[in-house]
Structure 1
Amino acid sequence: MTPATVALQFDRHDHSNEILLHLYQHLLRPRLIEEKMLILLRQGKVSKWFSGIGQEAISVGSTLALAPDEYILPLHRNLGVFTAREVPLGRLFAQWQGKRTGYTKGRDRSFHFGTNEHHIVGMISHLGPQLAVAGGIALADVLSNQPKVTLTYSGDGGASEGDFHEALNVAAVWQLPVIFMIENNGYGLSTPSNEQFRFRSFVDKGPAYGMEAVQVDGNNVLEVYKTVKKLAEDLRQNPRPVLVEAVTFRMRGHEEASGTKYVPQSLMEEWAAKDPVENYERWLLKEGILTETARHSIRETIKAAIEAGLQEADAVPMPTPDVQEELADMYAPVALNAQRSAPDNTDESPASPTDPQQPSTKHQAPSTKDLRFVDAIQEGLRQSMERYPELVLMGQDIAEYGGVFKITEGFVAEFGKARVRNTPLCESAIVGVGLGLSIKGKKSMVEMQFADFVTCGFNQIVNNLAKSHYRWGQNADVVVRMPTGAGSAAGPFHSQSNEAWFTHVPGLKVVYPSNPHDAKGLLCAAIEDPNPVMYFEHKMLYRSLSGPVPTAYYTTPIGQAALAAEGEELSIITYGMGVRWALEVCEELNISADVLDLRTLLPWDTEAVRKTVEKNGRVLVLHEDTLTGGIGGEIAAWIAENCFESLDAPVRRVASLDTAIPFAPPLEAAFLPQQRLREQVQALRNY
Structure 2
Amino acid sequence: MNFDRKNLSNEQLLDLYKRILKPRLIEEKMLILIRQGKVSKWFSGIGQEAIACGVTAVLDKDEYILPMHRNLGVFTGRDIPLHRLFSQWQGKANGFTKGRDRSFHFGTQEFKIIGMISHLGPQLGVADGIALANKLKKNGKVTAVFTGEGATSEGDFHEALNIASVWELPVMFIIENNGYGLSTPTNEQYRCENLADKGVGYGMESHIIDGNNILEVFNILSELKASMIEKPRPVLLEFKTFRMRGHEEASGTKYVPQELMDMWAIKDPVDNYRKYLKLTDVLSEEADEEIRAAIKKEIDENWAMVQAEPEIVATYEGELNDVYKPFDFEEVNPSKEVENIRLIDAISNSLRQSMERHENLVIMGQDIAEYGGAFKITDGFVAQFGKERVINTPICESAVVSAGMGLSINGHKAIVEMQFADFVSTGFNPIVNLLAKSHYRWLENADVVVRMPCGGGTQAGPFHSQTNEAWFTKTPGLKVVYPAFPYDAKGLLNASINDPNPVMFFEHKQLYRSVYQDVPKDYYTLPLGKASLLKEGKDVTIIAFGAAVHWALDTLKSNPEISADLLDLRTLQPLDTEAIFASVKKTGKAIILQEDTMFGGVASDISAMIMEECFEYLDGPVKRVASLDSPIPFTKALEDQFLSRGRFEDALKELMAY
Same fold (TM over 0.5): yes
Cα offsets for 1:654-678 (capped at 9, x unmatched): 0001000011110000000112101
Cα offsets for 1:409-454 (capped at 9, x unmatched): 0000010000000000000000000000001110010000000000
Q: 1:659 and 2:630 equivalent? A: yes
Following superposition, the deviation at residue 46 of structure 1 comes to 1.4
**Paired residue for 1:233?**
226
Match of 1:390 among 352, 360, 382: 360
**Paired residue for 2:86?**
93
Match of 1:634 among 605, 609, 632: 605
2:332, 2:132 → 1: CA distance?
33
SS in 1 for 2:437: helix
Match of 2:108 among 115, 121, 127: 115
**Paired residue for 1:440?**
410
Contact in 1 for aligned 2:348/2:377 (Cα 8 Å): yes
SS in 1 for 2:472: helix
Code of the residue aligned with 1:447 in structure 2: it is: E
**Paired residue for 2:213?**
220
Unaligned runs of 5+ in 1: 1-7, 344-364
2:408, 2:332 → 1: CA distance?
25
**Paired residue for 1:164?**
157
**Paired residue for 1:342?**
333
Match of 1:377 among 344, 347, 372: 347
How big is the alpha-carbon RMSD for the aligned residues of Structure 1 and Structure 2?
A: 0.8
SS in 2 for 1:46: coil
- Superposition map of 1:28-427 within 5 A: 28-334=21-327, 336=328, 338-342=329-333, 366-427=336-397
SS in 2 for 1:643: helix
Deviates more, 1:230-239 or 1:272-281: 230-239
Contact in 1 for aligned 2:373/2:379 (Cα 8 Å): yes
Match of 1:669 among 640, 643, 656: 640
Contact in 2 for aligned 1:342/1:550 (Cα 8 Å): no
Cα offsets for 1:366-406 (capped at 9, x unmatched): 11111100000000000000000000000000000000000
1:176, 1:47 → 2: CA distance?
39
1:318, 1:39 → 2: CA distance?
22
2:220, 2:318 → 1: CA distance?
45
**Paired residue for 1:360?**
none
Contact in 1 for aligned 2:170/2:229 (Cα 8 Å): yes
2:265, 2:95 → 1: CA distance?
33
**Paired residue for 2:571?**
600
- Superposition map of 1:616-635 within 5 A: 616-635=587-606
Cα offsets for 1:159-190 (capped at 9, x unmatched): 11000000000000000000001000111111
Contact in 1 for aligned 2:332/2:523 (Cα 8 Å): no
SS in 1 for 2:290: helix
Q: 1:9 and 2:6 equivalent? A: no
Unaligned runs of 5+ in 2: none
1:243, 1:122 → 2: CA distance?
20
**Paired residue for 1:685?**
656
Following superposition, the deviation at residue 237 of structure 1 comes to 1.8
Match of 2:454 among 445, 466, 484: 484
Contact in 2 for aligned 1:564/1:579 (Cα 8 Å): no
SS in 2 for 1:171: helix
Following superposition, the deviation at residue 341 of structure 1 comes to 4.9
Code of the residue aligned with 2:197 in structure 1: it is: D
Following superposition, the deviation at residue 339 of structure 1 comes to 3.9
1:402, 1:428 → 2: CA distance?
21
SS in 2 for 1:142: helix
Q: 1:615 and 2:586 equivalent? A: yes
Contact in 1 for aligned 2:125/2:403 (Cα 8 Å): yes
Contact in 1 for aligned 2:87/2:94 (Cα 8 Å): yes
Contact in 2 for aligned 1:341/1:557 (Cα 8 Å): no
Cα offsets for 1:207-259 (capped at 9, x unmatched): 21011001110000000011111111111121100001100001110111111
2:323, 2:411 → 1: CA distance?
19
1:627, 1:174 → 2: CA distance?
42
Contact in 1 for aligned 2:177/2:240 (Cα 8 Å): yes
Q: 1:555 and 2:525 equivalent? A: yes
SS in 2 for 1:481: strand
Q: TM-score, normalised by structure 1?
A: 0.95
